[in-house]
Structure 1
Amino acid sequence: MTVIIVPQRGSYRLIIYNGKKVLDTGVFGLTSTAKGYRPVDFKTRKPGRRNYQKVATKQLVDLIRTSSIWITNPDPALMAFLGDFQVSSKVAPLCRTCLLEDRVTVLNKKNGVKYGRERVCMDCAERELRREMGYLGQFGHRSFQHIRALLETYKDVDRVLGLLQPEQRDPSQTLFDRMEAVKPIKTRHITQVPVPPAFAKASGVEYLTPVQQLAVNGGLLEGKDLLVVSATASGKTFVGEMAGMKNLLEKGGRMLFLVPLVALANQKYFRFRERYKDLATVSLQTGTSRLNLPETRPVGERNMRAQIIVGTYEGVDTIFRNGRELKGVGTVVIDEVQNLEEPERGHRLDGLIARIKKTSPNAQFLYLSATIGAPNVLAKKLNAKLVRYDSRPVPLDRHLIFCERKKKVQFIKSMVREEFARRSSKGYQGQTIVFTNARARCHTLADAIGANVARPYHSGLTAKERRHVEELFGSQKIACVVTTAALAAGVDFPASQVVFDSLAMGIKWLTVQEFNQMLGRAGRPDFHDQGRIVLLAEPGGTYSRTSKVTEEEMAIALLKGEMEEVAPVYDIEGSSEEFAANAIVCKGDEAEVRWMEQQMVGTTEPVLETLQKHRLVRRKQGHIELSDLAGVMARHFIGVERLLLVRHLVRESDDPLEIVAEIDCTEARKEEA
């Protein structure tokens, strides 16, 4: 039999334990007499009962003399009492919370958890966490699994509670993990690699970065097609510049540099124009607005005969879809090639690559990405050699904090200001990118942080307004930009901290690939000593009525997620659009259209019969003739389903606004379904 004695305020609690369960509990006091400390007011009760019954103190003395004695906290009076009766005891590590509930749990390294100044068992710690989580909102099952895993890892309730109490935040408590920087490989000076001296001088680069050196080792300057996968800010853009400028200056053809967004195209255009102004002409090819206003007019030189053409995917694809050609291209750089996975644009990028290969068969293709799943598989599909550099140039701390939406604004405000107050060993202040899900939210957050500290940055701004924000951030005159997740690929700011106000793009959750692309913006080796990302996840929060996943569950899924292989399958809509565009490039040669489909990474649906059924194409002796409507389909980036819908609506109504509204409603219903 074991007797456990727990000192309380002015008394002692006694628990009689047989090694499996509690048999009785009791309380007693100690009083000082001429003979020493003696027990008084001894009472006992059975487990589960409330009322105590008074018992003779002689029974307590007999029980203590015949049992093993465990105590939870040495007490002078208690030790003197036990000594008077020559009773030995040992201090046992027991969960105090369990004892209060008539349970006995012996603590050890495996199940002991720190809670304040004491230790409790894992079950009691878990109940405390559940109670705290209940105050904050409706957590999903996946979220509690994550919290439980953290508890088992840290063995510290307060540290885990730091995730749930942002007003008491401690960076050491909110840290999810750290992505360490790896000591870079030895690289060569730019003058030691076989590039033209004029380019080496104009580039402003001295030593290559590791990924640049690996690309050179992999045949970059010998004309090899490469898929280059490396973290943001590791120097992938310059990989394309080295090959492109070498080919250009050595009469190997012009350079075509493709990016996903206008904002990013503008940045590359101005950078290349300034850097290579004495070596090459540079032009910009992006989509143009149908509204001829000063703020919507395109920027940059639009000369399609320029030696360097920077453009968006759709901007350059428009050339091919209108039956024109880009001649003399020697180098094609596809930046952010992970966009092949995008539901809306993936097939267009895929088709564009095939169209360029058809019209420039001898060009060198370089595919760049910071985040892509199974890159070795994609490299094989692209018929390119994989160059991969996994380590980050600076370490990256990833933090996860659960908090209510209404608390996010103040929290972001303090994080932005704290980061701006830090200065790196390179002499730069810390700056922040805040990603959110809507343009209106960009303005709300920027206004809350302060106009002198933060600015909104999204596709609704004019090119001039965006350039002004870029200049303010680049000169460190502001601490923060607040931008939409939809513009993530086009944001090229040297930030040390990235904060996720939401984990959605509009009403759709981010993919693992998109998330990794965005977090890669934190920490630049030329500016910062380390990067930091912070996810603010609302328990139970969501951005769509149909979503079965909550924001805090999505945060955990993104942080733990692995990217999937790039293997898209295109529906009738996307497949028919690419078929029509390819037919224009191939001048109707059916065999060549089939060849181009085989060059694509994704799998297209057979659409020829569908197009014939609706009299959009005619097929005769291996030749495909597009109708005028099919030409419209290709030129305006729409597929057969949308084309037929537009044709039907035009027949039903002559009101353009009504037609556009119905198209939007139809697509929204389709998307929701």
Structure 2
Amino acid sequence: MTIPSRNYFIVLNKSPTKKKELIFDVNFFYLKSYKEKRNKLSYVNTPFFKGTVVFGLDIKNKMRPIKFSKTDENEKSIPINPRLFKKFVLAKENRFVALSSQTDRAEYDPILEMLQNFQFNKKKIKNITFCKSCLDEKRFTLLDHRNQIVSFKNDIICSDCALELVLKQIQMTGLIPSGERISPKLKNFFKHMILKFRKVQKVLTAFKADFNPVKHREITIYDVEKSTSVSKKYLNLRINDIDISKDFKKLLETLRIDTLLPIQAISIEKGLLSKEKDQLIMAPTSGGKTLIGELAGVSKLLKNKNNKMLYLVPIVALANIRADEFSKKYKILNLKTVKKIGESLLEKSDSIFLEDLADADMIVATYEAIDYILRSGNKDQLGEISTIIIDEIQVLIDSDRGFLLDGFIARLKSIFHGSQYLYLSATIGEPKALAEKLNCELVQYNNRPVPIERHLILCLNENMKNRNILRLVRAAYSQTSKYGYKGQSIIFTNTRKKCESISAYLSKRGMKVRAYHSGLTNEERKLIEMEFLSQRISGVVATAALAAGVDLPASQVIFESLAMGINWLTVAEFEQMLGRAGRLKKHELGYAYLLVEPGKVYSPKMKETEENIAIRLLNGKIKDYELEPNEDKSLTELLAYISMFIKGVEYEDIYKFYDLIINNNYDFDYFLKKLNSLKLLRVKENFMHKINHLGRSIAKSFLTIEKSLEIIDKLKNEKVKSVLDLALELKPIRNVYLSRKVVAELSKNVNMKYFSNNFFSASVLSLMNAEYVKKK
């Protein structure tokens, strides 16, 4: 046996079977790299030599190796000359001798004495720790202090062995079904917890039946989204220092707004008022984006009474909130606010719908309400719009409404050339590229006004979710911030029915909570909002679909479900909802809790399960604004533009519109020819394109051209029994539910991973066919 030419190190560990004798296990490892000053090393974890060494006194009464043996592949011991051990220890290739920390320090006294007799350099004697579980399996996993995990038996083990132990215990609880494949993302989450606590017992505390997340926040916490430092110049800009009218300043002072928030100061610096720059404004929810729009819009209204401000939002609930807010706030400045929402179109004729626009100073509207006015050829009725604020610009990434918003913005730009455009968003991917596409200045501030603690809680079933919601809501409401506000909660779930059932569950247990969803009337919503703002209720249970319209100052957001209807939330939607936790000057800290049921899906079509979605959302990247090309939707937006002009529009102007669209990945001339061939418009002299009655009807319907022509074909060829059948086909009745009793009865007879209580769900409809039902 010769000394190798490569660098190595020697590890000595007391043999567990020979406690009274001076018998030590010895292993030699090749070094890949070794940084002595930093005490960092990389090594081949399979020893090139393993064996035992016995120490004793020689004739001079000095400690020496008296027996030395090698253990071969068959675990057979082969004697070796003990003098070779000394040669291996003193060889220059041996960089250090390591003493395993799993052995009592006193046990090493004979070895230390021997090394001193060998005149071995003390600095080359080190203490190291191996994973006990790996050692038992004849594997050698060296651990630094950051990777040492304490097992049930107080042994030091590695994170991989700890993970194996944790998963085994969790499967025993039934939280994860035994034998079911555990996703890599969920494994990473467990490992995250293991490395955070470094104690297996501490990690497993979170999975006990009586676990209380309120008492163990340190266990469920995933991370804290903190604010980073920001330049002082953005923290100290006062209202008195900006160029707005005295009356406007006075109004803001009465509202206790004397200093601008950082995003507002950055916007001012980048020319919001001085140069009336178009801006894409990105800041977290409640970061102060809305006031930026008001500063620009109201300033111009006060300078010129003929001007109007247009504030656009994606949903009715948000239109109601902003219209009420602006109406009350700016009444003192004699500014009239008018609200326009799509619902009104069903109740009023075009003339009645338009009549109050002439006297309006501020128009708060849904995208579709104003777009309808444009598509109807009534663009002149809007008047002189000096400021256009488009809230929730991240709708651009929505596969259904993204094309509509893209076309709508381009239509506005094509007629209101001199207006100032402000695009507001808390969440959108590739903001620099989008700002370039929109031809505006990017104003971005990522700091949350209030830090948010994000928590992940795994729940065995829906009952456990409800119990945890009750604990969290009760605990939050019992606390009062330093600003004097109680901790109130917004619980997000995926259906209206669950809104009602969760709020009923909490109310029965003494917590005043209201269901808050799109099925309520505007008056009912206002009443709930007043109860929330006056702190008479501890929270609301809202559908994810209403997230953009839930502008309530909650300290805590709880995700009972990570779905919106039967679709998983996107990262952008999740961030939007997450941002509702914590409000500036009301709370010191916001809390967000994700209640996750491993293996849970909300539709048979869902390929991923809830725990995978949770990790993806917490670590996710928001997708960018560009959509997959869709000829039908793009063609419809082009038709909608031409529909704005009663007398027709020239080719050059249509091309300018095409150039303004973000999603313009199509052949422009081919599209124009196609509209003509479909007989939706005709080309007059001088290349003037004029829409016909059918074309405008399609544009005003907001249906795509393809869908509209399909409807015409069905009516012409009597493929539908009645107009009512056609209406139901276009907008089916979906909210029909079975009672819990019926669901429980049906569930007995089927073996399904997912069973919905919606009458029209796949799981219920499959039971209509007797062959799917097992015989009792």
Please state whether the residue corresponding to 1:404 is helix, strand or coil.
coil
The yes-or-no answer on 1:202 pairing with 2:251 is yes
| Distance of aligned partners of 1:95 and 1:141 in 2 relative to their CA distance in 1, 3 Å threshold | closer
2: CA distance, partners of 1:666 / 1:312 = 24
Residue segments in structure 2 that go unaligned for 5+ positions in a row: 1-10, 29-46, 53-71, 76-85, 87-96, 112-125, 735-759, 762-776
**Contact 1:24–1:47 (8 Å) recurs in 2:** no
Counterpart pick for 1:227 among 266, 280, 301: 280
Counterpart pick for 1:437 among 477, 491, 494: 494
The yes-or-no answer on 1:346 pairing with 2:402 is yes
Counterpart pick for 1:284 among 339, 346, 359: 339
**Contact 1:165–1:403 (8 Å) recurs in 2:** no
Counterpart pick for 2:698 among 628, 633, 646: 633
The yes-or-no answer on 1:316 pairing with 2:353 is no
The yes-or-no answer on 1:611 pairing with 2:675 is yes
1: CA distance, partners of 2:264 / 2:319 = 22
Q: CA shift at 1:244, angstroms?
A: 0.6
Name whichever of 155-164 and 444-453 sits farther off. 155-164
Q: For residue 60 of structure 2, what is the aligned residue in structure 1?
A: none
Please state whether the residue corresponding to 1:366 is helix, strand or coil.
strand
1: CA distance, partners of 2:240 / 2:502 = 47
Letter of the 1:248 counterpart: L
Counterpart pick for 1:217 among 269, 286, 299: 269
**Contact 1:16–1:22 (8 Å) recurs in 2:** no
**Contact 2:15–2:25 (8 Å) recurs in 1:** no
| Distance of aligned partners of 1:590 and 1:11 in 2 relative to their CA distance in 1, 3 Å threshold | farther
| Distance of aligned partners of 1:457 and 1:303 in 2 relative to their CA distance in 1, 3 Å threshold | same
**Contact 2:212–2:471 (8 Å) recurs in 1:** no
Q: For residue 600 of structure 1, what is the aligned residue in structure 2?
A: 661
- Paired residues, number: 626
Deviations 1:12-40 (A, max 9, x none): 9x996766599999xxxxxxxxxxxxxxx
Q: CA shift at 1:145, angstroms?
A: 3.3
Q: CA shift at 1:183, angstroms?
A: 4.9
2: CA distance, partners of 1:367 / 1:390 = 16
**Contact 2:336–2:361 (8 Å) recurs in 1:** yes
Counterpart pick for 2:185 among 142, 153, 156: 142
Q: For residue 238 of structure 2, what is the aligned residue in structure 1?
A: 189
| Distance of aligned partners of 1:292 and 1:159 in 2 relative to their CA distance in 1, 3 Å threshold | farther
Q: For residue 465 of structure 1, what is the aligned residue in structure 2?
A: 524
Q: For residue 121 of structure 1, what is the aligned residue in structure 2?
A: 158
Q: CA shift at 1:573, angstroms?
A: 3.0
Letter of the 2:664 counterpart: T
User: RMSD over aligned Cα, in angstroms?
Assistant: 3.9
Name whichever of 235-244 and 313-322 sits farther off. 313-322
2: CA distance, partners of 1:48 / 1:460 = 74
Please state whether the residue corresponding to 1:450 is helix, strand or coil.
helix
2: CA distance, partners of 1:517 / 1:634 = 31
**Contact 2:596–2:611 (8 Å) recurs in 1:** yes
**Contact 1:321–1:634 (8 Å) recurs in 2:** yes
**Contact 2:643–2:695 (8 Å) recurs in 1:** no
**Contact 2:512–2:537 (8 Å) recurs in 1:** yes
Please state whether the residue corresponding to 1:615 is helix, strand or coil.
coil
Letter of the 2:698 counterpart: M
Please state whether the residue corresponding to 1:502 is helix, strand or coil.
coil
| Distance of aligned partners of 1:666 and 1:232 in 2 relative to their CA distance in 1, 3 Å threshold | closer
Please state whether the residue corresponding to 1:220 is helix, strand or coil.
coil
Deviations 1:203-229 (A, max 9, x none): 322111111111111111131111111
**Contact 2:518–2:546 (8 Å) recurs in 1:** yes
The yes-or-no answer on 1:172 pairing with 2:218 is yes
2: CA distance, partners of 1:359 / 1:92 = 74
Q: CA shift at 1:659, angstroms?
A: 2.0
Counterpart pick for 2:606 among 547, 550, 553: 547
Letter of the 1:455 counterpart: R
1: CA distance, partners of 2:301 / 2:492 = 38
Q: CA shift at 1:121, angstroms?
A: 2.3
Q: CA shift at 1:301, angstroms?
A: 11
Q: For residue 145 of structure 2, what is the aligned residue in structure 1?
A: 109
Letter of the 2:425 counterpart: S
**Contact 1:5–1:72 (8 Å) recurs in 2:** no
The yes-or-no answer on 1:537 pairing with 2:591 is no
Counterpart pick for 1:266 among 299, 303, 320: 320
| Distance of aligned partners of 1:345 and 1:165 in 2 relative to their CA distance in 1, 3 Å threshold | farther
Please state whether the residue corresponding to 1:585 is helix, strand or coil.
coil
Q: CA shift at 1:608, angstroms?
A: 3.0
Residue segments in structure 1 that go unaligned for 5+ positions in a row: 26-45, 50-65, 83-89
1: CA distance, partners of 2:479 / 2:405 = 41
Name whichever of 457-466 and 174-183 sits farther off. 174-183
**Contact 1:15–1:22 (8 Å) recurs in 2:** no
The yes-or-no answer on 1:658 pairing with 2:725 is yes
TM-score normalised by structure 2 residue count? 0.73
Please state whether the residue corresponding to 1:535 is helix, strand or coil.
strand
The yes-or-no answer on 1:332 pairing with 2:388 is yes
Q: For residue 7 of structure 2, what is the aligned residue in structure 1?
A: none
Q: CA shift at 1:642, angstroms?
A: 1.0
**Contact 1:211–1:389 (8 Å) recurs in 2:** yes
The yes-or-no answer on 1:623 pairing with 2:688 is yes
The yes-or-no answer on 1:130 pairing with 2:167 is yes
> Whose relative contact order is higher, 1 or 2, with alpha carbons under 8 Å and at least 6 apart?
1
1: CA distance, partners of 2:101 / 2:641 = 83
Q: For residue 388 of structure 1, what is the aligned residue in structure 2?
A: 444
Letter of the 2:167 counterpart: R
Please state whether the residue corresponding to 2:222 is helix, strand or coil.
strand
Q: CA shift at 1:563, angstroms?
A: 1.9
Q: For residue 630 of structure 2, what is the aligned residue in structure 1?
A: 571
Counterpart pick for 1:583 among 642, 666, 672: 642
| Distance of aligned partners of 1:133 and 1:468 in 2 relative to their CA distance in 1, 3 Å threshold | same
2: CA distance, partners of 1:523 / 1:620 = 59
| Distance of aligned partners of 1:214 and 1:110 in 2 relative to their CA distance in 1, 3 Å threshold | closer
Deviations 1:523-582 (A, max 9, x none): 111210011111122212222323322211111111111223312345233223212210
1: CA distance, partners of 2:303 / 2:100 = 86
| Distance of aligned partners of 1:442 and 1:299 in 2 relative to their CA distance in 1, 3 Å threshold | farther
TM-score normalised by structure 1 residue count? 0.83
The yes-or-no answer on 1:644 pairing with 2:700 is no
Indicate the percent of aligned positions where both proteins have the same amino acid: 35
Q: CA shift at 1:291, angstroms?
A: 7.4
1: CA distance, partners of 2:409 / 2:105 = 79
Name whichever of 121-130 and 660-669 sits farther off. 660-669
**Contact 1:617–1:625 (8 Å) recurs in 2:** yes
2: CA distance, partners of 1:269 / 1:73 = 73
Matches within 5 A, 1:41-80: 72=102
Q: CA shift at 1:396, angstroms?
A: 1.2
